[in-house]
Amino acid sequence: MTPAPDLVIDGTATIDGATLFASLTLTLAAGQWSCLLGGSGVGKTTVLRLIAGLETGAEFTGTVTASDGLSVPERVAYMAQSDLLLPWATVAQNVTIGARLRREKPDLARRDRLIERMRLQDHLHKKPAELSGGQRQRVALARTLMEDRPIVLLDEPFSALDARTRADMQDLAAEALQGRTVLLVTHDPGEAARLGQSIVVMTQHGLTPCQPPHAAAPRNVDDLETLETQGALLRLLREEAA
């Protein structure tokens, strides 16, 4: 794995001539969690997909650059709201799917370490349908970590989970993805306040950077400053929408 770089995405996007987002510059600091917070339809997922080099359906004019000058899409790992586990494959196979898709030999020792870290050792040979929502997202996280990429793109990965499981997953992900350049796209102010080392609110009018709480992420769910930040972020979202 190359060291985690800074990422800068700079440009405008249109869909069929209509502006999705006007001239925008988003900087993701190397080795840090950046949270991009916004309502539905403001184009935050488009930003993430542009970085990943995925089809967006939008016309993007601009650049995505890494501070080390190397290409970006080959160095991202991607995790979506849906766990994207292959229903016909076991947990073990799902975790190593990346290597098999590249015709490489999967590093089984590494897989077993990750499986253990995600507390999935009892489920190695189960199919995804036999797991709970939280377990499935842990498998997805193990698969993401298996890729061992310096840049990790998370598209609302915890939004379908119940509150307790979501908090657990946030802790686990924050710890596991330390040192990587992480972009977390979310519509949940609480999540951004807990995890963001930098927080940016995205609306139709553009990006508004926000001061993250001082405590180190992942912050406690009952940390006062974190709760205040959550409130401030929500207020900002509502004002911008009005």
Partner 1 sequence: MKYLSAIAATLFAVAVWQAIVSLTGLPKFILPGPALVAETWWQNRWLIAEHTWITGVEVVIGFACGTVLGVITALQLADSRAARVLVQPMLVFTQALPVFALAPLLTLWLGYGLWSKVAMAVLIIYFPITSSFFDGLMRTPTGYLDLARTMQASKRTVLWHIRIPAALPSLASGMRLAAVYAPIGAVIGEWVGSSQGLGYLMLLANGRAKTDLMFAAMLTLGVFSILLHMVVRRATARMAGDGH
> Which tokens hold the place of 166?
């979501």
Q: Binding string to partner 1 for residues 91 to 110, with x set by CB under 8 A, is what? A: ------xx-xxxx-------
**HSE-up of 228 (CA within 13 Å, CB side)?**
8
Distant-in-sequence, close-in-space partners of 71: CB < 8 Å, separation ≥ 6: none
- Between residues 73 and 209, which has the closer beta carbon with respect to partner 1? 73
- Between residues 76 and 169, which has the closer beta carbon with respect to partner 1? 76
Interacting residues with partner 1 between 179 and 218 (CB under 8 A): none
The torsion angle over the Cα atoms of residues 106, 112, 115 and 119, rounded to 10 degrees, is 180
Interacting residues with partner 1 between 116 and 135 (CB under 8 A): 127, 129
- Between residues 57 and 231, which has the closer beta carbon with respect to partner 1? 57
> Got the DSSP string for 25-59?
EEEE-TTSEEEEEE-TTSSHHHHHHHHHT---SSE
Distant-in-sequence, close-in-space partners of 61: CB < 8 Å, separation ≥ 6: 11, 12, 13
- Between residues 88 and 211, which has the closer beta carbon with respect to partner 1? 88
Minimum CB separation of residue 82 from partner 1 in Å reads: 6
Any alpha helices (H) in 53-96, and if so which ranges? 91-95
- Between residues 28 and 201, which has the closer beta carbon with respect to partner 1? 28
* Binding of partner 1 by 54 (CB under 8 A): yes
Residue 11 host element (H or E): strand 7-15
Minimum CB separation of residue 33 from partner 1 in Å reads: 19
Q: Binding string to partner 1 for residues 144 to 183, with x set by CB under 8 A, is what? A: ---x-----x------------------------------
Q: How far out from the chain centre does Cα 92 lie?
A: 22
Residues in contact with partner 1 by the rule CB under 8 A: 49, 52-55, 73-74, 76-78, 80, 82, 84, 86-89, 97-98, 100-103, 127, 129, 147, 153
